Structure 1
C-alpha cells in the first residue's frame, strides 16, 4: 500500500510539480536564447568588424593628411669643402616638421572595387549571423520539446509502476491462496523493480533536458519552469517542388561572398594601372644657413608599379581561384540544403503517420491489458501475458510521445532548411 501511495505521489509531482513555478513558452525561450547566447554575441562582433571594413575602404576617397615633426642633434653640421676651406650648410641641431595633404584623383576603379568588396563581405557576415541564429533556435526547439517528451515518459513509466504494483498484489494474493506458483510472484516483483528503473531514467532525461535548455537560454542550471506546449499539430505541406532558399542565411552569405570575389578579381587586375594624385605639402627645417626654411609645394602626378615579379599575376590567379572556390561551396550548400529539406519533410510525414497509428494502438493496448488482467484473475491467462500486455502498452505510449517530439522537431527542421524558423 505504501508503495502505491508513493508512486501516486510521484505521478502527481510530475503532473503538478511546476504548477506554482514560472511558466515558459517556446517563444519566450527563443527570445531568451537570442538575447543571451554568447555564440550569437560573438557572431554579431563579426558583423560589426565587417561593417567597419567598409569605412576603411571608403576612406581612400578622402584626402590623407599627415603631420610629422621632431628635433635633430648631429655630432657635426654638414659642410661644403672649398679647397682647404669648408662652409657649414646647416645647423648641427635643429627642429623640423612636415605637413602634407594627399588626394587620389583616379585609380581605375581600385577604390570602388575595394569598397564593393567590403560592403558585400559585410552583408555576408550579416547573413551568417542569421544562419547562426537559426541553428540556435533549432537547438532550443529540440531541447524544449525534449523536456516535454521526457516528462510524458516519466508519466508513462510511473503509470506502469502503479500497474505493476497492482499486478504484484494480485499475484501475492493468488500465491497466498495457492492457485499460482512462486514464479508468478517473483516475476511481478522483478517487473516492479524494472519499472522503477524506467522512472529514474526518464527523470534523468528531464533533468539533462533542463540543463541543456538553461544553457541555451542563459538561465541558471537549477532554473525550472512550467513549459507551455502551445504549438498546434503542424500541417503537412504539399509537394511544392524545390524549396525556396532565398531566406536561408548561409546561402545568401555565400552569394554575397561570390559577389565580393568578383570585386576582388577586378581589383587584382588593376594592380599595374597608374594612380593619379595631387599633393600639397609644407616642409619646415630650422636652418640659419639658408634663406628659405619652409618650403610650400603643390604636386600633381602619377605613380605606377612597373614590375613586382610574379606577385601581380599570382594575386589575379588567387582571386579567380577564390571566386571559383566560393561558387563551388555555394552549389554544394544549395544541394545540401535541398537534401536537408527533403529529409525533414520525409521525417515530418512519417512522424505524422506514426502518431495516427499510435493513437489507435494506445486504445487497443489499454483494452488488451484489461482483458489480460481479467483472464489472469480468472486463472485462464498467465502472469507473463499480463506483464507483456503492460510492457506493450508502455511501449505504445512511449512511441506516441516520441512521435509527437519527432513531429515538432521535423517541422522546425523544415523551417530551418528554408530559413524561416
Structure 2
C-alpha cells in the first residue's frame, strides 16, 4: 500500500510540475509557432475570404436564374368602367409566380475586370500571409537565441559569484592576519551580494524568454527543454549588394494590389458602357378573366446608364488615385526593404568582428584576473584591482554572448529582408 501511494504521489508531481522534453531545435520551434499562431490563422482566413471573392466574380459569367411566387388577396378586384357599368379584369385573390433566366452577353470587359481584380487581391492576401509568417519566424529566432544567450549570462554571473566568494575568503584570511583593513573585507562582501543579484537578473531574463517563446509556439507557460545552438548564417554569396526581393511577401502583395488597381480602373471606365443581355422568362398569374394565364417570352436587349451625376467620373478618378497610391507604397517598400537588408548585413559583419575581438579579450581577462589575484595575495595589489579585474572579465564574457546573439539575429534579419527565413 505505501508503494502504491508513493507512485500516485510521483504521478501527481509529474502532472503538476514543469513540463520537460528532450530537445527543441529552432526548426521545430518555427514549425510549432506556425501551427499555433492565432495571428497566422486569422491571416489564412483573410486569404480564404479573398479567394471566395474570385468565385463571386466568376459567377457573373453564368446565367442568373430567379424564381418568385406568392399569393395576392385584394379588397376588391381591378375592373374597367363602361359608363355606369364596370367589368372586372382579374380575380380578387390569386396565386402567381415568375421564372426568369438572365444571361449577360457582352459588357465591354466589366466582368473580366472584376474577375481579374478579385484574383489579384486573392494573391495579395496569400502573400500577406507569407509576410506575417516571416515576421513570426523572426520573433521566434529572437526569443530562441535570447534564451540561449540569457543562459550563458547566468553561467557567467555564477562564475563571477564563485570568483567573488573566493576573493572574499582571501580577504577574510588576510584581514584575520591583520594584513588588510576591514574595508577590503566589506568591499568583497558587497561585491558578492552584487554578483548574486546579477545571477537573479539573468535567471529572470531566462524565465521571461521562455514565457515569450512558449507563447509564440503555443506551449504551456511552464514548458522547459534543452535548446540547441544551430548557426543560421547565410553564405557570403547571399550577402550581395542588390538583393533578390522576389520572395518578400509584402512586396509581392503590393505588386498584386497594383495589378488589381489596374483592373479597377478598367472596370470604373466601363460604367457608362451598355450591357447586352438575353432573357428567358415565364410569368404565371391565376386569372379567370383572361385567356392566357402563363406568358412565356424571350428577350434580347441592352441596358445602359445615361447619367448618374458626378459619381461615374469620381469613381474613375478614385480608382486612378488608388493605383497611384499603391504604386508609391510599392516603391517606398522596395527602398525600405533594401535599407533593412543593408543594415542587417552591416550588423552581421560587425557582430562577427565583435565575436573575434571578444574571444581574445576573454583569454586576456582570465589571465589578468589570475595575475591580479596573485598580486593581491602577495600584498602587492589592492582589493579594488581584483574586483575591477573580475568585473572586466564578466563584462567581456557578456559582450561575447551578446555578440553571438546579435550575430544570429542579424542573420535572421538578412533572411527576413529577402523573404527566406
By the TM > 0.5 criterion, same fold? yes
- Pairwise CA distance, 1:242: 1.3
- Pairwise CA distance, 1:228: 1.0
1:86 alignment counterpart:
86
- Pairwise CA distance, 1:19: 13
1:265 matched to 2:255? The reply is: no
Aligned with 1:191: secondary structure? helix
- Pairwise CA distance, 1:21: 3.8
The CA distance in 1 between the partners of 2:125 and 2:380, in whole Å, is 72
2:227 alignment counterpart:
227
The CA distance in 2 between the partners of 1:236 and 1:384, in whole Å, is 46
Counterparts of residues 365-404 of structure 1 (less than 5 Å): 365-404=365-404
- Pairwise CA distance, 1:106: 0.3
1:298 to 1:21, Cα distance in 2 relative to 1, 3 A: closer
The CA distance in 2 between the partners of 1:107 and 1:224, in whole Å, is 63
1:111 alignment counterpart:
111
- Pairwise CA distance, 1:233: 5.5
1:234 to 1:108, Cα distance in 2 relative to 1, 3 A: closer
Q: Which moved more, 1:234-243 or 1:58-67?
A: 234-243
1:25 matched to 2:25? The reply is: yes
- Pairwise CA distance, 1:146: 0.2
**8 Å contact kept, 1:236–1:348:** no
1:317 alignment counterpart:
317
**8 Å contact kept, 2:19–2:223:** no
1:3 alignment counterpart:
none
Counterparts of residues 332-343 of structure 1 (less than 5 Å): 332-343=332-343
Counterparts of residues 194-205 of structure 1 (less than 5 Å): 194-205=194-205
**8 Å contact kept, 1:154–1:203:** yes
| Structure 1 portions without partners, runs of 5+ | 1-17
The CA distance in 1 between the partners of 2:214 and 2:238, in whole Å, is 36
1:299 alignment counterpart:
299
The CA distance in 2 between the partners of 1:238 and 1:174, in whole Å, is 59
2:181 alignment counterpart:
181
Q: Which runs of 4+ in 1 moved over 3 A?
A: 18-21, 232-239
**8 Å contact kept, 1:236–1:349:** no
Q: Which moved more, 1:240-249 or 1:163-172?
A: 240-249
Counterparts of residues 267-286 of structure 1 (less than 5 Å): 267-286=267-286
1:131 alignment counterpart:
131
1:232 to 1:53, Cα distance in 2 relative to 1, 3 A: closer
The CA distance in 2 between the partners of 1:227 and 1:43, in whole Å, is 29
- Pairwise CA distance, 1:229: 1.1
1:269 to 1:368, Cα distance in 2 relative to 1, 3 A: same
Counterparts of residues 148-167 of structure 1 (less than 5 Å): 148-167=148-167
The CA distance in 2 between the partners of 1:20 and 1:218, in whole Å, is 15
1:41 matched to 2:41? The reply is: yes
Structure 2-normalised TM-score? Answer: 0.94
Residues paired across the two proteins, number: 404
Calculate the aligned-residue CA RMSD, in Å. Answer: 1.3
1:8 alignment counterpart:
none
The CA distance in 2 between the partners of 1:24 and 1:289, in whole Å, is 85
The CA distance in 1 between the partners of 2:22 and 2:74, in whole Å, is 79
The CA distance in 2 between the partners of 1:19 and 1:103, in whole Å, is 63
- Pairwise CA distance, 1:236: 4.5
| CA shift digits 1:153-206 (9 cap, x unpaired) | 000000100000000000000000000000000000000000000000000000
**8 Å contact kept, 2:19–2:224:** no
Aligned with 1:100: secondary structure? strand
| CA shift digits 1:375-416 (9 cap, x unpaired) | 000000000000000000000000000000000000000000
The CA distance in 1 between the partners of 2:29 and 2:292, in whole Å, is 75
The CA distance in 2 between the partners of 1:170 and 1:178, in whole Å, is 12
The CA distance in 2 between the partners of 1:20 and 1:289, in whole Å, is 87
The CA distance in 2 between the partners of 1:121 and 1:252, in whole Å, is 11
2:3 alignment counterpart:
none
| CA shift digits 1:131-161 (9 cap, x unpaired) | 0000000000000000000000000000100
**8 Å contact kept, 2:232–2:412:** no
| CA shift digits 1:202-236 (9 cap, x unpaired) | 00000000010001001111111111112266555
| CA shift digits 1:63-96 (9 cap, x unpaired) | 0000000010101110111111111111111110
| Structure 2 portions without partners, runs of 5+ | 1-17
Counterparts of residues 5-24 of structure 1 (less than 5 Å): 21-24=21-24
Aligned with 1:224: secondary structure? strand
1:408 to 1:116, Cα distance in 2 relative to 1, 3 A: same
